[in-house]
Structure 1
Amino acid sequence: MELLKKNIHMNRQKSQAVMQVTLEEDFNVPDSKADVGSIIQDEAGVKIEDMKVANGQVMVTGAMEVEVLYVADNKERKVHRLTERLPFEEQINMEGAETGDNVQLKWDIEDLSVSLINSRKLSTRALLTFSAAVEEIYDVSAAVEIHGDGEISSLSKNLDMLQLTVQKKDILRIKDEITLASNKPNIQEVLWKSIQLRGTDIRILDGQLDVKGEFFIFVLYAGDDENGTMQWVETALPFAGTVDCSGCSPSMVDDVELSVASVSLEPRPDYDGEERILALEIVLDLDIKLYEEDKVEILEDVYSPAKELKPVTMQQVYESLVMKNFAKCRSSERVRMENNQPRMLQICHSRGDVKIDDTQVVENGLKVEGAVFADILYITSDDTLPFALMHGVVPFSHVIEVPGIDGTCRYSLKTQLEQLSTTMIDSEELEVKVGINLNALVVRVHKEDCIVDMEEAQLDMKKLAELPGIVGYIVQPGDSLWSIAKQYYTTPDRICRLNNLESEDVQAGNKLIIMKTVEITD
């Protein structure tokens, strides 16, 4: 007897882990900078420099880079910028992780706080959360056919599988320029920049990924006029690029994480030698996972009227696609400033970050709850503090439609801020409107018994002798010709011929004559 097997590519989430670490450090104001009077705004990002995986541990090396915008403690009350770097080396315990694994690492900064110790020293504190996950591709050997002497009946089943075909990391480098409007003064110094990624669209082509989107850019700078007046530039910059991706095709399902890895923005002279051009270079990180749907037929059961066949099975885990859905959610909120804040004359710039508080599976959908945390930079009515920052929180709740989703499903959720608009109501209150993109990939996790071997034995002659040689049988609900034939040690083909059936489809209530195939002799 020969059992034909096939190697089937499967994927599974091998391991995942979450770790939090507190970074805290004091730093001095450089001698070249003026004393700090008051802090306007602070911002931080994480740069991962190295990641090593071995023996159930992931070693992450990098730094949290902090920027601070402040007003000087002097008569001029000019605005300045400070930068500080907080290095870290953290170990994430991740059961099952080993050398060569492709680790998907995400980070989130919570509770960033920059405070004044004195005019020459600041204190920085933040809670950094790392989320790590590993998906692996592995091969399973499953029986697909069986051949041998005598009559052997086999039953097959189809598995709709979602196979991880491509898993890689890559970068996309975008270079562009921003030219100042004619009514703006030349650039003396860039004080602050904000780059937000919005409206991204990723399409799979043959052998490459097509990436499009938009950068929402804000730059605050000191002009080179006599008073060094504060100026700003705000613009939307569309971009497009391609990333080579061997083996990909338009029929695949994408799950690509796109994030800003680094930004370089420097003033450059124009043709007249004046500093009126902002040279921009942005590096995007792409964490690429591409899946392919496949239908695989494997053996479910085998029997023979001539011998006892016992399939040897091994439980395997595989995934099937439920749905990939792209949803949009809109929300708005009125935000009033605190009593001790300077009053607002004009909104300068606003930016927001989407935070997910909770996701849960509901009937035919995935409920997402969270908030957009908005920072609004504005011009004040206080001459001693030209700029101030206002914080706002816009909660949202949305159900992404996913018919058929249940507790056996696993999902990947990506969020992106598509729109953020702020409108002054008066000098103390404004309205914040947001639009959020919610991109969900939902898969169902299956556990399947796959036949990997076959054991043979002689028939139980005593049991066979107790069976009648011929029987009249009324088909019961849930019966199939296969199950009936196996029960009475015959074959579906023999039952069809004996009852003049044109197909193996039988309905509850059908009457059949069944003859035992095996002859029992004393």
Structure 2
Amino acid sequence: MELNTFSLHREIIKGRARTQVTFDEDYNLPDYKPDFSALIMSQGRIRIEETKVTKGHVSIKGNLKFEILYRAEQVELGVSSLEGVVSFQETLAVDEAQEFDSAQVSCELEDLSINVTNSRKLGVRALLDLSAVVSEFATEEFPEEMEGGQNMEVLNRSVNCLHLKAEGKDQCRIHEEIDLPANKPNINEILWKQVQIQGIQARPANGKIQVQGEVSVSMLYIGEPEARLEWHETSIPVSLSLEVPESDQDYICYVKADVQEWNVQSQEDLEGEPRVISLDGILKVEYRLYEEQKRQMLGDLYALDKTLIPQREAVTVEHLLMKNESRCKVNDTLTLEQGQKEILQICSCFGNVQLDHTEIQEDGILAEGAVHVQILYFTKEDQAPLDAVEGMLPFSYKIEVPQITPDCRFELNTGIELLSVMMKSGSMMEIQSVADFNVIVFKPEEIERIKTVEETPADMEEIQRMPGMTGLRIKSGDTLWKIAKENHTTIAEIKRTNQLPDEPLPEGTTILLLKQVR
């Protein structure tokens, strides 16, 4: 006899680690840049350069790229900008990690504080939240049927299994060219830009994964021929395709996607004038493709003419509880602090979702955090034409997940779907935003798997001692399989002798059992 099996490819989480990385660095102004007078706005982005898994450790190399917009009295318009990079290397301890394991690394910029130390030096302070999830991808065999067995009774059971059809990392280049509106002057120099991809959605198709979203672009530049500050803001849809041969439109797709760095430059149009904005970025994508399968698995077996001893082991499988994309409105008002210059015109409003806490609750997942917004605006003062304000919009949102339990595992991605600002007065603004929550929830189930079946001759002395005919009253929890196996008969024979319907049997029913010998 031989066990026929079916294969199940799945991800096994081996360990997690999390740490915080702090920066406290001095950054000297390059010689070609004008002196600092005051800081207007700063922004930062984390870029992971290398991830390496070794025994017991995950090593991560990356850098923090920061940009500042500042007042500079030596230049004509009184505004300049600066970019800088601070590198980091961190090692996380994950005892279960092995050399060929996979690691999902995420790094969130929790806080960025840039201060002017003197006219030629900056103090850069940042707090990074660095986490790693170490996993391995394994193909396991589960018993489906017994081949070559004669006179054998078999009990199959239906199990729901989540089969990992494909997983991987890929990247797509985003290249867009944006024409300036006719009422905007030509571009002499780009001083400041903010680029963000919003509303990412991924859909599986035959042989590919389709990724769609919207890129929001804001740019401050010096116009020509009249040297003055100009602002342009626009949004453009993007649609990308990842080649994944295993993909099928019926699969379940879960994607993490982000652009770590954008390159924004001015180019000449067909008439030779600098009126085109060239936008380039690399969208890095991590994807998983799942298929929910309902399989018949061998649960138990016995024979009347021999003894079969199944060797079992406990194993945990997962099935998909829910994949959901939900949205939460986060609105609030923002008031300028005392001493800040009043608003003449709003240039841009950018933001990101910062998650502080997630928790499994009854029928859902509680997500708490804030939407961090940055607003750049023109003032009424010629000596300081630009200023900025930052704010935090707190939220507490429950993602509905019916039947979720504390032992469930989930992955949650957040993003900004919509962000807008409206002036209510020269010192007050109304912020409206919509936060995205993309969650996938896995429910574990522990089952017993038959690894092998040992066959030995039947114990005829034991069989002879068993009565040939037995009367039995059905008790709570009794099944025909249990009764037939314990009394050396078959389900078919019990039904034939007693003219029984299908299970469940009413409690208290009396049945007659006839021992079967082959």
* Fold similarity call, TM over 0.5: yes
1-structure distance, mates of 2:150, 2:85: 76
Residue 268 of structure 2 aligns with which residue? 269
Deviations 1:223-256 (A, max 9, x none): 1244x21111000111112111111101111110
1-structure distance, mates of 2:478, 2:158: 19
Cα gap change, 1:467 to 1:56, in 2 (>3 Å): same
Q: Is the 8 A contact 2:77 2:228 kept in 1?
A: no
Residue 158 of structure 1 aligns with which residue? 158
Cα gap change, 1:360 to 1:141, in 2 (>3 Å): same
Residue 232 of structure 2 aligns with which residue? 233
Residue 13 of structure 2 aligns with which residue? 13
In the alignment, structure 1 residue 470 sits paired with structure 2 residue 461: no
Residue 357 of structure 1 aligns with which residue? 356
Residue 173 of structure 2 aligns with which residue? 173
1-structure distance, mates of 2:296, 2:469: 34
Which residues in structure 2 correspond to 1:171-250 (within 5 Å)?
171-226=171-226, 228-250=227-249
Q: Is the 8 A contact 2:8 2:163 kept in 1?
A: no
SS at match of 1:400: strand
Residue 4 of structure 1 aligns with which residue? 4
Q: Tell me the TM-score normalized by structure 1.
A: 0.93
Which residues in structure 2 correspond to 1:43-192 (within 5 Å)?
43-74=43-74, 76=76, 78-147=78-147, 151-192=151-192
Q: Is the 8 A contact 2:19 2:131 kept in 1?
A: yes
Residue 485 of structure 2 aligns with which residue? 486
Range moving further from structure 2, 241-250 or 141-150: 141-150
Q: Tell me the TM-score normalized by structure 2.
A: 0.94
1-structure distance, mates of 2:437, 2:18: 22
CA RMSD, 1 decimal: 2.2
Shift of 1:460: 6.5
Q: Is the 8 A contact 2:263 2:279 kept in 1?
A: yes
Shift of 1:342: 2.0
2-structure distance, mates of 1:487, 1:507: 20
Shift of 1:464: 5.5
Residue 406 of structure 2 aligns with which residue? 407
2-structure distance, mates of 1:144, 1:370: 47
2-structure distance, mates of 1:346, 1:196: 22
Q: Is the 8 A contact 1:12 1:318 kept in 2?
A: no
SS at match of 2:37: strand
1-structure distance, mates of 2:446, 2:271: 69
Deviations 1:284-309 (A, max 9, x none): 11111111111222211222344443
Cα gap change, 1:474 to 1:148, in 2 (>3 Å): farther
Range moving further from structure 2, 36-45 or 292-301: 292-301
Q: Is the 8 A contact 1:498 1:513 kept in 2?
A: yes
Cα gap change, 1:246 to 1:149, in 2 (>3 Å): closer
Q: Is the 8 A contact 1:11 1:163 kept in 2?
A: no
Which residues in structure 2 correspond to 1:405-444 (within 5 Å)?
405-444=404-443
2-structure distance, mates of 1:213, 1:75: 39
SS at match of 2:370: strand
1:357 is aligned with what amino acid?
D
2-structure distance, mates of 1:112, 1:7: 48
In the alignment, structure 1 residue 255 sits paired with structure 2 residue 254: yes
Shift of 1:459: 5.9
SS at match of 1:36: coil
2-structure distance, mates of 1:229, 1:188: 10
2:403 is aligned with what amino acid?
G
Cα gap change, 1:291 to 1:57, in 2 (>3 Å): same
SS at match of 2:13: strand
Shift of 1:373: 0.8
1:193 is aligned with what amino acid?
K
Count of residues in Structure 1 that have an aligned counterpart in Structure 2:
518
Shift of 1:338: 1.5
Shift of 1:462: 7.5
Q: Is the 8 A contact 1:306 1:459 kept in 2?
A: yes
Shift of 1:140: 2.1
Shift of 1:354: 0.5
1:190 is aligned with what amino acid?
I
Shift of 1:514: 0.9
1:310 is aligned with what amino acid?
I
Shift of 1:34: 0.8
Gaps of 5+ in 2: none
Deviations 1:19-66 (A, max 9, x none): 221122211111111110000011111222222222222222221111
Identity of aligned residues (%): 35
Residue 378 of structure 2 aligns with which residue? 379
2-structure distance, mates of 1:149, 1:60: 54
1:192 is aligned with what amino acid?
W
Deviations 1:368-420 (A, max 9, x none): 22211111111223333221211122122222222221122111111121111
Shift of 1:506: 3.0
Q: Is the 8 A contact 1:73 1:119 kept in 2?
A: no
2-structure distance, mates of 1:430, 1:6: 60
Cα gap change, 1:495 to 1:148, in 2 (>3 Å): farther
Shift of 1:148: 6.0
Range moving further from structure 2, 410-419 or 92-101: 92-101
1-structure distance, mates of 2:343, 2:421: 13
Residue 322 of structure 2 aligns with which residue? 323
Cα gap change, 1:75 to 1:136, in 2 (>3 Å): closer
Q: Is the 8 A contact 2:359 2:365 kept in 1?
A: yes
Q: Is the 8 A contact 1:335 1:432 kept in 2?
A: yes
2-structure distance, mates of 1:285, 1:225: 39
Shift of 1:129: 1.8
In the alignment, structure 1 residue 291 sits paired with structure 2 residue 290: yes
Q: Is the 8 A contact 1:492 1:504 kept in 2?
A: no
Residue 453 of structure 2 aligns with which residue? 454
